[in-house]
Structure 1
Amino acid sequence: MTSIILKKIKKQDMNAVLDWFDARQSKFYKIGWAYLKNHHDVEDIFHNTILKVHDNIGQLKEDKYFETWVTSIFINECRAVYRKREKQVAANQPELSHLDNKLEVLEDLDLLEEIHKEVIILKYLQGFSQKEIAGILDLPVGTVKSRLYRGLTMLRQLIEGGGADGL
C-alpha cells in the first residue's frame, strides 16, 4: 500500500478509505461470505468496517499493520453478526443449514468450531501467513499453528466420511 493513500486515510479522507476497500473488495467479500453466507450481511459488514476505519484511524499504532488492523475489524464485525444470527436462530428453533447447495468441504468446514474454522479460512481461503493470522486474531503464532493442525485434522475426518459423529 502506498503511503500516500494511508496519509489520506489518516486525514479521514472517506474517498481514500473507499478506494482502498474497492481495491480489496473480493478479498474481504470472501472472508465475509465464509462467515455469513449472505450477500446483504456482507455488504452491511463492508459499510460498518469502512465507517469504523474512517472514525478510528487514530488508533492505528504502526502504518505497516494497517491491512491487518482493518482485517481484524472486518472479522470482528462478521463475528458479531454471526453471533447475533445464532441467537436469533436458537430463539426461533434451529434451521437446517445443510439444505443449502454447498460444496462438501464448505459444509464440513461449517461443522468445525469457530476457532478452527476462522484460522483455516484465513490461511487457505485468504492466503494469510500464520504470523499475519496471529496479528489479525491477536493470538500467539503457536496457538494459530495448533488450531490449524487440529482444525485440518477434524476437517479431514469429516471429509473421509466421519461426518459430525467422527469428531
Structure 2
Amino acid sequence: MIASISDSIRLKKIKKQDMNAVVDWIDERKSKFYKIGWAYLKNHHDVEDVFHNTIIKVHDKIGQLKEDRYFETWVTSIFINECRAFYRKRKQTEMNSLQEPMDSSPLETTVDVLEDLDQLDEIHKEIIILKYLQGYSQKEIALILKLPVGTVKSRLHRGIMILRKIIEGGEDNGL
C-alpha cells in the first residue's frame, strides 16, 4: 500500500526506473524485509544478496505493476520469491555436499522458534512467517502469495498444529 505522499512521489520515480528511489524505498522498510529473509535463510550475507536481487527485479520489472496501491504487496512477493529461490539453491548445494542439518534445541528463544519453523513444509512456514512475524492479515497474505483466502486459513491452521507438535517434541510432524 502507498502510505504517504512521499511514497507516491517515490513510486513515480521508481516507475521511471530511478534506481535510487527503489533503494530508498527498500531501505525504509529494511527491518521488515530483513525479518522475512532471516526466517528463510538465517544468514546475514544471504539476506543481503536477496535484498540486492529484489532491488534489481523491482527496478527491471516495475512496468509489470498493474495497480500502484499494491506496490508494497508486489515487492514483498518478489522478495519472498527471491528468498525461496536462494533457499532452494542453498539446500541443493548442501544436499550435494552431504552436510548434516543442525539440531534444533528446545524452545527457549526466538531463534529456537525460527529453527522449529525450518522443520515445516515451505507452504506452511511462509504463511506463519507472514502472519505472526510480519503481521499481515490473511487477506494480505492471500494477495502476496496469490492464493485463495481459504487456502491461507487452512495452511495457517495446519502449520500451527504441526509447529505445536514440533515444539512439544512430537516425532510425527505430519499429524
Give the TM-score band, short-chain normalised.
Answer: over 0.9
Q: Please, which runs of 5 or more residues in structure 1 have no aligned partner?
A: none
Corresponding residue for residue 172 of structure 2:
165
The root-mean-square deviation of aligned C-alpha atoms, in Å, is 1.6
1:60-96: CA deviations, max 9, x gaps?
A: 0000100000001001111111111111111111322
Corresponding residue for residue 104 of structure 1:
112
1:23-77: CA deviations, max 9, x gaps?
A: 0000001101000011111001000100110111000000010000000100111
Task: Please say if 1:151 is aligned against 2:170.
Answer: no
Match runs of 1:34-53 below 5 Å: 34-53=39-58
Corresponding residue for residue 72 of structure 1:
77
Q: Please, which runs of 5 or more residues in structure 2 have no aligned partner?
A: none
Deviation at 1:166, TM superposition (A): 4.7
Deviation at 1:102, TM superposition (A): 7.0
Corresponding residue for residue 135 of structure 2:
127
Please say if residues 31 and 126 of structure 1, whose CA atoms lie closer than 8 Å, have aligned partners that are also in contact.
Answer: yes
Please say if residues 104 and 159 of structure 1, whose CA atoms lie closer than 8 Å, have aligned partners that are also in contact.
Answer: no
Deviation at 1:105, TM superposition (A): 2.1
Please say if residues 123 and 129 of structure 1, whose CA atoms lie closer than 8 Å, have aligned partners that are also in contact.
Answer: yes
TM-score by length of 2: 0.89
Please say if residues 104 and 112 of structure 2, whose CA atoms lie closer than 8 Å, have aligned partners that are also in contact.
Answer: no
Corresponding residue for residue 12 of structure 1:
17
Deviation at 1:117, TM superposition (A): 0.4
Deviation at 1:13, TM superposition (A): 1.1
Deviation at 1:99, TM superposition (A): 6.4
Distance 1:158 1:59, change over 3 A: same
SS at match of 2:136: coil
Corresponding residue for residue 144 of structure 2:
136
Corresponding residue for residue 65 of structure 2:
60
Please say if residues 109 and 117 of structure 1, whose CA atoms lie closer than 8 Å, have aligned partners that are also in contact.
Answer: yes
Q: How many Å separate the matches in 2 of 1:34 and 1:63?
A: 28
